[in-house]
Amino acid sequence: MTAGESKESGLKRVSVRYEGRVQGVGFRYTAIEVAAGFAVTGFVRNEPDGSVTLVAEGAEKDLVALLHAVRSTHLGRYITRDMCSWSVGTGEFAGFGVKHAW
């Protein structure tokens, strides 16, 4: 078992903060479209400081593939930095969508 993996389900969570010109470029809606291709749940939201947060839960292989897929869309050219943290999944999400911060 790897760090951040639940013994019961293998469910993991990844939280990513994307920085760069990531607002106003369709980031959230592209992330939703990409996430639909994977067995993941969670959300994406704009932050007041201009960054975007993506939180997703699922199997580690799906989460890694999701992050690579997001980077390989047109969004990759707008991302100057991404910071990931991994933890145990909670199972709290029913789907993947936009969460509004403000």
Residues with a catalytic annotation lie at 28, 46
- Tell which residue, 7, 14, 21, 1, has the closest CA to residue 81: 21
For residue 16, what is the enclosing H or E element?
strand 12-20
Residues in Cβ contact with 8 at an 8 Å cutoff, skipping those fewer than 6 apart: none
